[in-house]
Structure 1
């Protein structure tokens, strides 16, 4: 049985109605039990037991934008965004160490918080007139005080896919990845495309392989900074590879046995699989066990 993709299974009651109810929101922020997620440059602070660390709202900066994440066991939980902080670029080694030990539900809760905080740090000005905007809807939007334009956290759709041909899976690698790692191909959807069209286009552009019979497998929120990964499998019409070197360092066909060995962590495996919290791991498992 394929496990759920990483960053799914969050446990917040997001209580959307509270976001527009100023009285209820004020009561939530005044609740002495209210908790604030401890983040350092978007990385989570962990307890000695490997859980997310939460403090009181008093730890938020005076000018911070408070983001209502939701209720856990009736207790309001928040994150905060410093309007003067420099936006974070890239991912630190610390975040991957944290993801290796965080329980799945807490990783999902963290992913939601990270994406929204990161969005506030990157979208401080109105996209219509350029005026500095202010947070509203309990941190789930920003509003321009001049033109009244409203802006909301965005999620960018990304297709991630395996092309299969006669019992083999097409995987690729990029040069910055750890030595030996191969993974599913991926790319952003473009305007005016369906998921299936994006899968076919990206596979053809990156490897020269045409696919058909594309089928959906699963999806995953990916908080770096905020994407929705849409996992699919398609049938390749041929197995001739023409690599786009601007996108990939290499691409190869791997047999089902090779994929299963890699997923099992076999030190003699022909490649290194993506980590369990990545949906590419879920996708490879779904393909190998089908």
Structure 2
């Protein structure tokens, strides 16, 4: 499915080349036939990692046939335009492959994979993360059963249905009228690592109000006119990052030291100079934060964050 890339252009974790085929998740006969078909491809995932095949200028997922796949929880990922079904199986990865170093997590692999493979891996990792924390019913505490080809869990005791959860988080690049960008560092980050601000949306709150609240809480800066840029899944474990630009109407920095160890305003010239010197380490290119910073800057920055 083609969609507009938006103001940020294509994002590494927001790519897909297959139809998710939601209508087929409960079709047991179709699922049986698909699992028996030789053309069906299976992705193994375990603890957020999978098997990849590396080559000179990239990598590809190692996809197996159903007959070669180990036992494990199955998730239907969808069907491509040629009618090829794709499943993920949550099971330990083969030890020979682990020993050979052909195993990668999403953050490492996303920069190497094409659109189809990146989309499959993001999807599988997100489903695995949800299942890992929702084995038991939040109503009665009973063990739940996996249904809908990995897209629902049902409690056999009280009949309640539970669906994969996504936590919306706003991520905002704050700029001022002097052509500066606001970057900040979390207390647990390396001394030279900085990024834009981000935070979760609270119950009963709009995205725009979350932008204004988070910036004021974290650095004491008032902002106006939040402008939506685009979104990217961040399944670590289940965030959806919603990107905004926001204009500062005050510029004095008063960081909440429990959340922010350091915050600073940087001009484009200062940003580039500090990145080139290694004084400033930006987020990696797999993150929406990196793309937001480069969009504001006006083009790619040196590779310090990669």
TM-score with structure 1 setting the length: 0.88
Q: Does 1:271 align with 2:280?
A: yes
Deviations 1:122-158 (A, max 9, x none): 1111111111111111111111111111100011000
Q: Does 1:54 align with 2:66?
A: no
Q: Does 1:4 align with 2:10?
A: yes
Question: Shift in Å at residue 41 of structure 1?
Answer: 2.2
Deviations 1:78-121 (A, max 9, x none): 112359xxxxxxxx985543334233442232111100011112
Would the alpha carbon gap of residues 105 and 36 (structure 1) be closer, same or farther in structure 2, given more than 3 Å must change? closer
Q: Give the match's secondary structure for 2:276.
A: coil
Distance 1:148 1:94 in 2: 35
- Tell me what 2:136 maps to: 125
CA contact (8 A) 2:45 2:91 kept: no
Distance 2:67 2:235 in 1: 26
Match for 1:74 among 83, 86, 104?
83
Q: Does 1:225 align with 2:225?
A: no
Q: Give the match's secondary structure for 1:20.
A: coil
CA contact (8 A) 1:259 1:284 kept: no
CA contact (8 A) 1:258 1:269 kept: no
Distance 1:257 1:130 in 2: 56
CA contact (8 A) 1:170 1:184 kept: yes
CA contact (8 A) 1:174 1:250 kept: yes
- Tell me what 1:146 maps to: 157
Q: Give the aligned length.
A: 278
TM-score with structure 2 setting the length: 0.84
Distance 1:162 1:2 in 2: 12
Distance 2:169 2:148 in 1: 27
Q: Give the match's secondary structure for 1:6.
A: coil
- Tell me what 1:25 maps to: 31
Distance 2:146 2:244 in 1: 36
Question: Shift in Å at residue 269 of structure 1?
Answer: 6.0
Deviations 1:147-194 (A, max 9, x none): 111100011000000111121111111243344221110000000110
Question: Shift in Å at residue 289 of structure 1?
Answer: 2.5
- Tell me what 1:113 maps to: 124
Q: Does 1:192 align with 2:204?
A: yes
Distance 2:285 2:270 in 1: 17
**Structure 2 residues not aligned, in runs of 5+:** 1-6, 93-102, 300-306
Q: Does 1:287 align with 2:296?
A: yes
- Tell me what 2:194 maps to: 182
Match for 2:260 among 248, 264, 269?
248
Distance 2:44 2:70 in 1: 12
Deviations 1:231-288 (A, max 9, x none): 11111111111111111111111112334557xxx52265222111100011112222
CA contact (8 A) 2:169 2:239 kept: yes
With 243-252 and 49-58 compared, the bigger mean Cα shift is at 49-58
CA contact (8 A) 1:5 1:220 kept: yes
CA contact (8 A) 1:79 1:117 kept: no
**Structure 1 residues not aligned, in runs of 5+:** 84-91
